[in-house]
Amino acid sequence: MIYHQQEILRKELDSFSQKKQSVGFVPTMGALHEGHLSLVEKALSENEVVVVSIFVNPTQFDNASDLEKYPRTLKADAQLLNTLKGTIFIYAPNVADLYGETVISKKYNFGGLEHAMEGKYRTGHFDGVGTVLNLLFRALQPTRAYFGEKDFQQLQIVRRLVAIEQLPVTVVGCPILRESHGLAMSSRNQRLTATQFKEADLIYKTLKKVREHFLEESIPTLQAMAEGIFAESAHLELEYFEIANIENLKTARRKRKGNSYRAFVAAYAGEIRLIDNMELPKI
Ligand code: AMP
């Protein structure tokens, strides 16, 4: 069932809350793939009802062309969700239903998490993400909300957002689903040519190589190795490769015992921007 108005959906959800039944929530921008479905399946296994929002949020895009070209496939998305067992409500609002008349971002201080990586390269991105999620959480009042580790920085920021806004929701992180050659599933993959799609497995291969050598090599060596791999690619242009501490997302210059790290990549295939990350072994 697709709802375009939060007021009507809210009434439906109230009947679950009144019976003390839990509401799971999976926020998405649509063009759904198996990665999204894995989040929905987890949410269905842990809650009586699941809301999937499908909304391409204008305030988190710093690039007008990326916003305009973002795939919008509501009918196919609904069909895909229909293949799952369980009670799923789709919330597909227009901008006004969510934002009202003023479509602007709130300014957040996420304790520095917002300045790393994606925040450095996409101005205002996390203010937009925080703003839309705050609006969605307040409108839908879910018990649990599910986010992919594919956007690991976003996941950490959402945890901070929930604390800042004092929202009574549990944030659940979910593993990255990949294509058979390793490329992380993404709505943007639809826009890749066959060659770009094939070659984009380099991102996964690089992350895997870094993971394999993480314990014996220094971080500068691993950094040079990753950058060297991309420098030789005719199809992918590296925007950043970073090894960062998972708690504060600060760039790691050397490994410290007891800390946990992940490797992060953003790269362009033509004009399509792809991101990925991978957990690194414990030291
Ligand atoms: P998006 O529609 O790209 O905003 O993504 C909606 C949610 O799905 C976010 O929490 C993403 O992290 C998650 N997601 C996207 N791609 C994947 C994937 N390949 N594996 C797991 N989760 C994903």
For 182-226, write each residue's pLDDT tens digit. Answer: 999 999 999 999 999 999 999 999 999 999 999 999 999 999 999
Q: Which of 144, 174, 204 is the last residue of a domain?
A: 174
Residue-range definition of the domain harbouring residue 20 = 2-174
The confidence score (pLDDT) of residue 246 equals 97
User: Left, alpha or beta for 23 (phi > 0: left; psi -120 to 50: alpha)?
Assistant: beta
Looking at the structure, do residues 74 and 110 belong to the same domain, yes or no?
yes
Q: How confident is the model at residue 70 (pLDDT cuts 50, 70, 90)?
A: very high
Order of strands, edge to edge, in the sheet holding 144-148? 2-3, 88-91, 49-54, 23-28, 144-148, 170-174
Q: Is residue 182 part of a domain?
A: no
Residue type, 47: N
Q: How far apart are the C-alpha atoms of 277 and 150, rounded to whole Å?
A: 7
- Average pLDDT in the 29-48 region? 98
Q: Which of 140, 174, 208 is the last residue of a domain?
A: 174
Looking at the structure, do residues 162 and 43 belong to the same domain, yes or no?
yes
Looking at the structure, do residues 168 and 223 belong to the same domain, yes or no?
no
Q: Which residues contact 219 (CB under 8 A, 6 or more apart)?
A: 243, 252, 253, 254, 255
Looking at the structure, do residues 25 and 165 belong to the same domain, yes or no?
yes
Looking at the structure, do residues 167 and 90 belong to the same domain, yes or no?
yes
The confidence score (pLDDT) of residue 82 equals 97
pTM over 0.85: yes
Looking at the structure, do residues 75 and 23 belong to the same domain, yes or no?
yes
The confidence score (pLDDT) of residue 105 equals 97
From the CB of 273, is ligand 1 less than 6 Å away? no
Q: How far apart are the C-alpha atoms of 207 and 199, rounded to whole Å?
A: 14
Q: Is the pLDDT of residue 239 over 90?
A: yes
Q: Which residues contact 183 (CB under 8 A, 6 or more apart)?
A: 189, 197, 200, 201, 203, 204, 274, 276
From the CB of 176, is ligand 1 less than 6 Å away? yes
CA–centroid distance, residue 133 to ligand 1 (Å): 14
Looking at the structure, do residues 146 and 264 belong to the same domain, yes or no?
no
Is the CB of residue 280 less than 8 Å from the CB of residue 210?
A: yes
Strands 261-269 vs 236-245: parallel, antiparallel or unpaired: antiparallel
Q: Is the pLDDT of residue 141 over 90?
A: yes
213: domain CATH number is 3.30.1300.10
CA–centroid distance, residue 252 to ligand 1 (Å): 25
Q: Which helix (H) or strand (E) holds 174?
A: strand 170-174
Q: How many domains does the chain have?
A: 2
| Nearest atom within ligand 1 for CA of residue 29 | 2
Looking at the structure, do residues 254 and 145 belong to the same domain, yes or no?
no
Task: Tell me the percentage of the chain whose pLDDT exceeds 90.
Answer: 98
Which residues are part of the catalytic machinery? 36
Q: How confident is the model at residue 283 (pLDDT cuts 50, 70, 90)?
A: confident
Q: Is residue 180 part of a domain?
A: no
Mean pLDDT of the chain: 97
Looking at the structure, do residues 40 and 146 belong to the same domain, yes or no?
yes
